[in-house]
Structure 1
Amino acid sequence: MLKLRQDQMTIWDCVLPKELLNLNEELASIDKILDDEVFMKPFLKHWNVRIGRPTVPVETYLRMMYLKTRYKFGYHTLVDEVRDSFQWRRFCRISIDEKVPDHSTLVKLTQKYGEKIVQELNQALITKVTQEKVIRSRKLRVDTTVVESNIHYPTDSHLLADAIKVITRKAKKIQKALGEAGPTVMDRSRSAKKRILAIGKLLKRRSGQAVESVREITEELVDKSIQTVLEAKEMLNHAEENLKEKLDKSVKRQIQKLDTIVQTAEKVIRQSRKVNRGETHIPNRVVSLHDPDARPIQKGKLGVKTEFGFKLEITENEDRMVTDYKVHKGNPNDETLLEDAIKRHIKLTGTVPHSVATDRGFTSRDNEKALTSLGVKRVSMPKRGKKSKERAELEKNRWFKNLQRWRAGGEGTISVLKRKYGLDKSLSRGHQGVSTWVGFGILTYNLRRVAAIK
């Protein structure tokens, strides 16, 4: 059952000294903003259920997630910190004699509400401050960056070894739960580890012969992975045919997880064989067993040629508010993202920006025409390659240069989001998990910006 707000004040709120309960300036401002009913509407829209046990109050959940993102806490640490602080209890609307929600409850709620709720919360905040004329959004700058997944550098040999290890570990848990004779999965983890160490030694030689030897060892890992996958499939089929009705929910979940890992491992096996045959271009390449949605992305950075994760598109106005964001799988061309980003902004705020500034990655004649047709008066996008005389004269205009200088400030915002709000690396997995992670980071950043502007 959905519960929006906490019960009334208790006697402790009247007995304890005010100094223990008064919120600092930041939390008082955020608390006032989150009191608005607009932040309850997304939950009522999707989760307005009147049966079952009451959930953690929505206002408590939102405030705890703000603190988690603001201070980059884990769920365990968040619960401990809120439990030990009078002020944070007051901010989260948790009475002194009341139990703080368990970390597992917060994890389940985050998975339950998902990316859609967080996106609508951000939209509600932008709509609210636009209608109140706190922000204007006459100027917009659009940029993209990479949110990295929490994975190690993915080589084919390491992915194969990981597949063997993970499948064996999960199969052992399932076999223990089944508790009867049946198909088993042989533990080849030690053999896979020896081959990984051998590859490390061979690569130090940096010769053509070493590369051929590495390919031979990788092929051996492919064979061992195939054997492990076949044994795991046999176990899954046995459980499905003979024990389906006898298994409890926890074992069924383990079986489902193993089935997902097996499917991903088969993709890793196929792509490893392609690489060994000399095929280097593999669409939708798997870079992680646990985060199969992550992709290799090249952004042209000098220090890091390739990053592994998701592409994040950010739209920001002159008040340094992130008015729109979107997490993309893979590395779509920036040119294809701009028009939709401006349309989403117009739909959300109800206003057409006067000026739009981007880097040269977004530049195309079609984009300039599209933005002009939408009503944008000034479009500042440097042209790539050789410029005509008319184009060179256009880019020399003061307004064009000023917009480009202002656009460069977006790199600072991205840096702040990465350093302080967790957008450098997502600890959640999958496209939905990363979108939720990014959404809470941007919501927390925007709430602080609104509090500073007001």
Structure 2
Amino acid sequence: MYRKIENPPTPIEKFELPFEGQLAEDNRWVIMANFIPWSEFEDEYAQQFRIEMGAPAKSFRTAIRALIIKERLGLSDRETVEQIRENPYLQYFIGLNKYSNEAPFEASMLVHFRQRIDIELVNRMNQSMVKNSREEESEEANEKKLLFLEEKKKLNEERNQGKLKLDATCIPADIKYPTDLGLLNEAREQTEEIIDILYEELDDNENKKPRTYRNTARKEYLDVAKKRRPSKKQRRKAVKKQLGYLKRNLAHIDRLIAVGAKLEWLSSQKYKILLVVNQVYRQQLFMYENSLSRVDDRIVSLTQPHVRPIVRGKAGSSVEFGAKLSASCYEEYVFLDRISWDNFNESDDLKEQVEAFKAATGYYPESVHVDQIYRNKENRKWCKERGIRISGPALGRPAKNISTETKKQAQLDERDRNCIEGKFGEAKRRYSLARLMTKLSNTSETAIAITFLVMNLGALLRRIIMTFFCIYFRKYCIYPVFRFG
């Protein structure tokens, strides 16, 4: 059951503390609480719950802001709840009316929050938040310059404005580096556990327990896995043996089911792993028989079967295992445009990203800053028809004599494109996208989208702080500034 919050957010001066005083208005959590347009999307969130039946669910404001706290501070689920319990500013941020020394919810609720709030909802919140902020900034600028909104709108429609930066990256999942031999060994061990569960529940003394040769299979696996550099022939021979053991175990499971064992005896997790193991066996057998090293929709993790190998060609790691995403950046704001667990060509997203920029701002960008993979004939022609300059040299043979202006423009374009590279670095080094710790595909996508939302919140907060310092120095600093050198 979901109860919609009819009352407006508690004013900061009415937040009850167990001691004298009140919360500071210039605190970062108090400022960020005004940025998030949670009320616009509460009805959509409430549709997942029944109106009358069930225990009251946590509000959408509490759910989305708890996820923001977790990502902003880089905490685990348990530590997030503890920090909220100890900090009155965080309790005000999630929508409480007074300070409480008790935890507002269990740590496991964060998993449910990520499942209920999908990636599309987070992306729309991100776009709405940035749009509202840009409209407020434009209104303030228009008041200072005494310009009418209609005149500025006509001016914007006449010419392209702004710089759009596009790029793609991979978010590695929290899995160990997969190998064919290691994956088959893990699948064999899982089938052995399933055989033990089914046989114990069957309680049939007439039939002997199936022999799995687990000790022998483990020894044969370690003989090759412990070698520093096993030869290709040794690896192939070891894979063949593990395929044989896995085939025997799957046949034993089928026989146990035939004599009365039921798959309902397995937990949901074990049943899911059994389905994944069958698919892994088919893929590995196909690659072994055809002497191949790849297959479509290849599974590299039993617990996270949605993870796929993403070939990136980077110097540090040519192949990464996780989700690939395509993002756009302008005015220090970054947006998640596409995410997929399969590899894709990011140049196909350029047109949609440019159109999304126009829908958000009202005009096409003056220039699009991309790397070489985006600079194909189709994208260049499409941008030229709309008066958009695409960065980088022209296609074909390089010119012999390059003017100084052209070289300088190329350097400036690369500097501008560094902005989105810096955003990816911020997401991976400052936040949690260096290694995605969530295990499900939908919760992982939500966690990635929340990171982009938090980065834009940080950009808005920096703008507020810079505006404050500019006003302060203009008002109180009377000494002239001298430049030396």
Amino acid at match of 1:122: N
Is 1:308 the counterpart of 2:321 in the alignment? Answer: yes
Q: Which residue of 2 aligns with 1:231?
A: 252
Is 1:104 the counterpart of 2:108 in the alignment? Answer: yes
Contact 2:5 2:59 in 1 (8 A): yes
Q: Which residue of 2 aligns with 1:151?
A: 175
Q: Which residue of 2 aligns with 1:213?
A: 234
Deviation at 1:288, TM superposition (A): 1.2
Higher mean displacement: 275-284 or 50-59: 275-284
- CA deviations on 1:72-116 (whole Å, 9 max, x unpaired) are 211111112211222322222234346411112221232123323
Higher mean displacement: 320-329 or 414-423: 320-329
Is 1:127 the counterpart of 2:117 in the alignment? Answer: no
Question: Normalization by structure 1: what TM-score?
Answer: 0.83
Is 1:195 the counterpart of 2:210 in the alignment? Answer: no
Question: Normalization by structure 2: what TM-score?
Answer: 0.78
Amino acid at match of 2:174: N
Deviation at 1:407, TM superposition (A): 0.6
Is 1:51 the counterpart of 2:76 in the alignment? Answer: no
Deviation at 1:394, TM superposition (A): 11
Contact 1:42 1:121 in 2 (8 A): no
- Aligned to 1:79, the other structure's residue is in SS state helix
Q: Which residue of 2 aligns with 1:404?
A: 414
Question: For the structure 1 residues 235 and 148, does the alpha-carbon distance in structure 2 shift closer, same or farther, using more than 3 Å as the test?
Answer: farther
Among 348, 354, 358, the residue aligned to 2:370: 358
- CA deviations on 1:412-442 (whole Å, 9 max, x unpaired) are 1110111122111211235423211110111
Contact 2:198 2:262 in 1 (8 A): no
Contact 1:287 1:294 in 2 (8 A): yes
Contact 2:334 2:423 in 1 (8 A): no
Deviation at 1:216, TM superposition (A): 1.4
- Percent pairwise identity: 20
Is 1:435 the counterpart of 2:449 in the alignment? Answer: no
Is 1:296 the counterpart of 2:300 in the alignment? Answer: no
Q: Which residue of 2 aligns with 1:162?
A: 186
Q: CA RMSD in A?
A: 3.5
- Aligned to 1:429, the other structure's residue is in SS state coil
Q: Which residue of 1 aligns with 2:34?
A: 32
CA distance in structure 2 between the aligned counterparts of 1:292 and 1:383, rounded to whole angstroms? 42
CA distance in structure 2 between the aligned counterparts of 1:131 and 1:233, rounded to whole angstroms? 64
Contact 2:169 2:326 in 1 (8 A): yes
Is 1:447 the counterpart of 2:457 in the alignment? Answer: yes
Among 376, 379, 391, the residue aligned to 1:380: 391
- Aligned to 1:313, the other structure's residue is in SS state strand
Contact 1:145 1:312 in 2 (8 A): yes
Deviation at 1:212, TM superposition (A): 1.6
CA distance in structure 1 between the aligned counterparts of 2:415 and 2:103, rounded to whole angstroms? 51
Deviation at 1:49, TM superposition (A): 4.2
Amino acid at match of 2:328: T
Contact 1:5 1:60 in 2 (8 A): no
CA distance in structure 2 between the aligned counterparts of 1:333 and 1:437, rounded to whole angstroms? 23
Structure 2 alignment gaps of length 5 or more: 140-155, 465-485
Amino acid at match of 1:107: V
Deviation at 1:181, TM superposition (A): 4.5
Structure 1 alignment gaps of length 5 or more: none
- Aligned to 2:323, the other structure's residue is in SS state strand
CA distance in structure 1 between the aligned counterparts of 2:34 and 2:75, rounded to whole angstroms? 23
Is 1:138 the counterpart of 2:162 in the alignment? Answer: yes
Contact 2:126 2:453 in 1 (8 A): yes
- CA deviations on 1:5-60 (whole Å, 9 max, x unpaired) are 4978799944633557446621111111126633535425x537423322111111
**Greater C-alpha radius of gyration:** 2
Contact 2:328 2:420 in 1 (8 A): no
